């Protein structure tokens, strides 16, 4: 095989020239472009890394904020529950107090109503007693009832204290008649009988005047300026009513 060294040398020179030309006009600009692109890419990667770091920091901040919000929310919930428990306790106490007041008021109202009913019943019983007494008196003559009530009046006059008896006498001395109220219309003879028995009971004569008072139902009452002597069914029923009211109150 024959080798043409000149041709080989020329081709070698051509290759070297071509390589120089390629390195001069092609590879360097390409490498410069690649370098530039690499720098741009590195810059973008650096920016991306910084952005990632900022994102991580923002995420961490968001996590911390979320945790703080959760903690604050829990604190607010605990505070709200505590306030709700306090308010519930206050409302229960207030409701209990109001209920106690309502019960007390209801008990007082019931007691008042019961007292009113009992008083009405007592008044009704008194009215019935008066009605019964009148019906009984209708069956008795004045002559039959008068001596018993007159004797009772004289007995009470005799039981007066010396001061009360002296008060009746003093009224007579002053020219003021003592008044005898009667449940019946008395004849002159009956009035004289009343005067005689009262004078004997008091121990001296008394100037008396008479008045008819049918509300006494039956009996007599002796009225002086400062002393009253009663022996009538009206006064007896009044004492009975007062005693019933006293017993009810105790």
**What SS3 string covers the chain?**
CCCCHHHHHHHHHHHHHHHHHHHHHHHHHHHHHHHHHHHHHHHHHHHHHHHHHHHHHHHHHHHHHHHHHHHHHHHHHHHHHHHHHHHHHHHHHHHHHHHHHHHHHHHHHHHHHHHHHHHHHHHHHHHHHHHHHHHHHHCCCHHHHHHHHHHHHHHHHHCCCHHHHHHHHHHHHCCCCEEEEECCCCCHHHHHHHHHHHHHHHCCCCCEEEEECHHHCCEEEEECCCCEEEEEHHHHHHHHHHHHHHHHHC
Cα dihedral 44/45/48/50 (nearest 10) = -110
pLDDT at 78: 85
- The confidence score (pLDDT) of residue 164 equals 80
Is 219 in contact with 153 (CB distance < 8 Å)?
A: yes
CB contact set of 176 (below 8 Å; sequence gap of 6+): 207, 225
* Amino acid 139: pLDDT: 47
Q: List C-alpha distances in Å: 29 to 10, 21, 46.
A: 28, 12, 25
Could you state, in order of their start, the residue ranges of all structural domains in the chain? 142-249
Question: What average pLDDT values come out for the chain (250 residues) when binned by 10 residues?
Answer: 66 71 65 75 78 81 82 84 86 85 82 70 62 55 72 88 77 68 87 89 83 85 84 78 65
d(CA 42, CA 24): 26
Question: Which pLDDT score is estimated for 68?
Answer: 83
């Amino acid at each position: 095989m024959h080798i043409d060294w000149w041709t080989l040398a020329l081709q070698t020179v051509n290759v070297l020239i071509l390589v120089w030309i390629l390195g001069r006009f092609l590879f360097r600009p390409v490498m410069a472009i690649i370098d530039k692109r690499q720098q741009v890419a590195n810059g973008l990667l650096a920016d991306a890394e910084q952005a990632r770091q900022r994102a991580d920091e923002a995420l961490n901040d968001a996590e911390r904020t979320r945790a703080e919000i959760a903690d604050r929310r829990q604190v607010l919930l605990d505070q709200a529950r505590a306030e709700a428990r306090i308010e519930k306790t206050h409302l229960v106490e207030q409701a209990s107090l109001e209920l106690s007041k309502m019960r007390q008021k209801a008990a007082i109202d019931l007691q008042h109503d019961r007292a009113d009913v009992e008083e009405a019943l007592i008044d009704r019983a008194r009215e019935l007693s008066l009605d019964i007494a009148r019906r009984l008196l209708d069956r008795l003559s004045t002559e039959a009832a008068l001596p018993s009530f007159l004797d009772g009046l004289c007995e009470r006059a005799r039981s007066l204290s010396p001061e009360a008896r002296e008060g009746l006498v003093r009224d007579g001395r002053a020219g003021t008649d003592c008044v005898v109220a009667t449940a019946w219309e008395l004849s002159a003879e009956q009035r004289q009988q009343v005067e005689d028995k009262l004078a004997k009971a008091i121990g001296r004569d008394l100037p008396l005047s008479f008045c008819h008072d049918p509300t006494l139902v039956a009996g007599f009452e002796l009225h002086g300026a400062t002393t009253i002597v009663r022996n009538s069914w009206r006064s007896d029923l009044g004492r009975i009513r007062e005693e019933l009211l006293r017993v009810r109150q105790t």
